[in-house]
Chains A and B, each alone.
Chain A
Amino acid sequence: MKNNKKVAIIDYGMGNLFSVKLACEKVGFDSLITNDKPEILQADALILPGVGAFGDAMNALKKMDLAETIKEFIKSGKPFLGICLGMQLLMSESEEFGMHKGLDIIKGKVVKFSNKNEKVPQVGWNKIIKAKDWGNGLLKNVLNNEYMYFVHSFYCQPVEKEIILSKTNYAKIDYCSSFQKENIFACQFHPEKSGEKGLIIYENLANLCQKKN
């Protein structure tokens, strides 16, 4: 069942884009894996996925001139979703393999879990807990304490606490597992790997597009 909305999925050579694409298609999106500036800017929604090291990712984005494109898209007000590493790249800096600068779209640091209390990375399912009302955004219709699938060693510490949508507990730390600032959405977990509940998030993304139009 198509929704006639176009979503661009940024291809910067990192991350498994195909699961994201399949999830988008499942909810009716027209999806395009691309790093072409005009195609990205034309899309109704933009997804920045990512798997791998922060430093490598930033280098790739810069090389392909995508940092500016992303910022420009976000300025347009259309919905933007950062997933996992894609969420972390929005931040100011990350301590992965030395200090690296991020896109600095969201103020804050990316720090590593200590492995004193649990194995790192976190690989598996964990509950997302409401930090504030979820309203009509990314997590609409998702239940509080729903399980989502996580794979990460680092987590975001946004300076503005009020953008935090959900928190999750791992290794004795309550960390930010998703946030929203205006049209920027980000989740540390992988909604395309979180079963039917995760697909709701993609549906919500589609609905956000329709709202804007």
Chain B
Amino acid sequence: MKNIRIIPRLDIKGPDLVKGIHLEGLRVLGQPEDFAEYYYKIGADELIYIDVVASLYGRNSLIDIISKTARKIFIPMTVGGGLRALDDIKNVLRAGADKVALNTAAITNPEIIKEASKKFGSSTIVVSIEAIKQPDGRYFAFVENARGQTGIEVLSWAKKVEELGAGEILFTSVDREGTGLGYDIELTKKVAESVSIPVIANGGAGNLEDLEKIIKEGKADAVAIASMLHYDFIKNNLSQRDSSEGNTEFLKSGKTFSKIKTAGVSEIKEYLAKNGINCRK
């Protein structure tokens, strides 16, 4: 069995690392650079940065953060959020990103997947799919940080993006995201088995068993984790600056999010290894 990648996911708004629930809410947890350096040091396999408001607010903050981080961190960085055109992709890669995640741009204009993978290489292009369950049981893909409806069914879209040349799929269950209730195993499995490109499972990790399950039963090729890791980091580390932006009430309170059994990257890899899942040591 191949090595599974453990990938911290950092949601960014302006200068802050934020963490929502169902991709809603902008609770500030600290400075992205601090988290990124920490995760690199303790053995994260890759990093994913998503600018969660770029599409919605028409603002792009990632170039700064990426340029700073790329000089110190030598593992793959995937960057997404508000990338609309080939030029945006070029700029982000130039700033130091290795891969880009496309969602809104890809659904609005699927040809961009084809063009981008031709120009930058398939492996550079990750398509991000945000899935929300509808009242009739179907799963639709959403855009603009889980706000824009598309009416496009998730499975058929996943197959299409593979055809168009995407290198990987970042698959998010918005219903689970930030809740700690576990990944959507059934849905992720359907997606992972219907495409031959790697699928990164995202959204819902609440404890170590969730990670084991999404890999073994959900057939994920990699796992993206946010709340579990971030709330763990802030337990022991202070990551705060005097920023005029962002509401830091939660950070100051010293509280945590009780629905999630936090853990660090090494703890996660140890647990997985004990349960028959290979990871890079």
A and B touch in the complex (CB under 8 A): yes
Q: Which A residues fall within an 8 A CB radius of B?
A: 14-16, 18-19, 22-23, 25-26, 51-53, 56, 115, 118-126, 147, 149, 151-152, 170, 190, 192-196, 198-199
Chain A residues whose CB sits within 8 angstroms of the CB of B76 once the complex forms: 149, 190, 193
Which residues on the B side are within 8 Å of A122 (C-beta)? Answer: 2
| B93→A18 contact, CB < 8 A | yes
Contacting residues, chain B, for A26 (C-beta < 8 A)? 71, 74
B151 within 8 A of A: no
Can you pick out 21 interface pairs between chain A and chain B where the beta carbons lie within 8 Å of each other?
A15-B121, A18-B93, A19-B74, A26-B71, A26-B74, A52-B122, A119-B197, A121-B167, A121-B197, A121-B198, A123-B123, A123-B168, A124-B198, A124-B222, A125-B5, A125-B45, A125-B279, A125-B280, A170-B2, A194-B74, A196-B74
A192 touches B74 (CB 8 A): yes
Determine if A22 and B96 form an interchain contact, defined as CB atoms under 8 angstroms apart. Answer: yes
Chain A CB within 8 A of B120 CB: yes
Q: Which of B26-81 contact A (CB under 8 A)?
A: 40, 45, 70-71, 74-76
Q: Is there an interface contact between B2 and A124, defined as CB atoms closer than 8 Å?
A: yes
Interface size class of B (residues with CB under 8 A): 20 to 34
Smallest Cβ distance from B168 to chain A, in angstroms? 6
Q: Does B175 contact A (CB under 8 A)?
A: no
Residue from A22, A115, A198 in contact with B196 in the complex, judged by beta carbons closer than 8 Å:
A115
Is chain A's interface secondary structure helix, strand, loop, or mixed overall? Answer: mixed
Determine whether the beta carbon of B74 is less than 8 Å from that of A23: yes
The complex places the Cα of A56 from the Cα of B94 at a distance, in Å, of 21
Q: How far is the CB of A26 from chain B (nearest CB, A)?
A: 7
Residues of B10-27 contacting chain A, CB below 8 A:
none
A131 to B91, CA, bound (A): 40
In the complex formed, the residue of A with least CB distance to B95 is A18
Closest beta carbon of chain B to A110's beta carbon, Å:
16
Known A16-B124, A19-B96: A120·B196 in contact at CB below 8 Å: yes
Please pick, from A16, A52, A124, the residue contacting B98 in the complex, using a CB distance under 8 A.
Answer: A16
Kindly list chain A residues whose C-beta atoms are within 8 Å of the C-beta of B281. 147
- Residue of chain A at shortest CB distance from B45: A125
* Chain A residues whose CB sits within 8 angstroms of the CB of B121 once the complex forms: 14-15, 51-53
Residues of B within 8 A of A53 (CB): 121
Q: Is B221 an interface residue (CB 8 A)?
A: yes
The 10 nearest A-B residue pairs measured at CB: A125-B280, A51-B121, A52-B121, A147-B280, A151-B123, A124-B5, A123-B198, A193-B76, A125-B3, A115-B196
Which residues of A sit under 8 angstroms from B198, Cβ to Cβ?
119, 121, 123-124
Query: Which A residues touch B123, using CB under 8 A?
Result: 51, 121, 123, 151-152
Mask, B112-125, CB within 8 Å of A = 1, is: 00000010111110
Alpha-carbon separation in the docked complex, A198 to B45 (Å): 13
A85 nearest CB neighbor, chain B only:
B121
| Contact A18 B5, CB 8 Å, known A147-B280, A149-B76 | no
Residues of A within 8 A of B167 (CB): 121, 123, 151
Most chain B CB neighbours (cut-off 10 Å) among A16, A18, A25, A170:
A16
Given contacts A124-B198, A149-B45, A149-B75, 17 further A-B contacts (CB under 8 A): A16-B93, A18-B93, A18-B96, A19-B70, A19-B96, A22-B96, A51-B120, A121-B122, A123-B168, A123-B198, A124-B3, A125-B45, A125-B280, A147-B281, A152-B123, A192-B74, A193-B98
* A152 CB contacts on chain B under 8 angstroms: 123
| Distance in Å: Cβ of B193 to nearest Cβ of chain A | 10
By a CB distance below 8 angstroms, the chain B residues around A125 are 3, 5, 45, 279-280
User: Which of these, B5, B71, B75, B279, contacts A22 with CB under 8 Å?
Assistant: B71
Partner of B75, one of A15, A25, A118, A195: A195
* Chain B residues, CB < 8 A from A195: 40, 74-75
A23 and B121 CA atoms in complex are apart in Å by 21
Q: Are B124 and A193 in contact, CB atoms less than 8 angstroms apart?
A: no
Residue of B nearest to A15 (CB): B121
CA distance in complex: A15, B98 (Å)? 10
- Among A22, A126, A198, A199, the residue within 8 A (CB) of B3 is A126
**Chain A contacts of B221 at CB under 8 A?**
119, 123-124
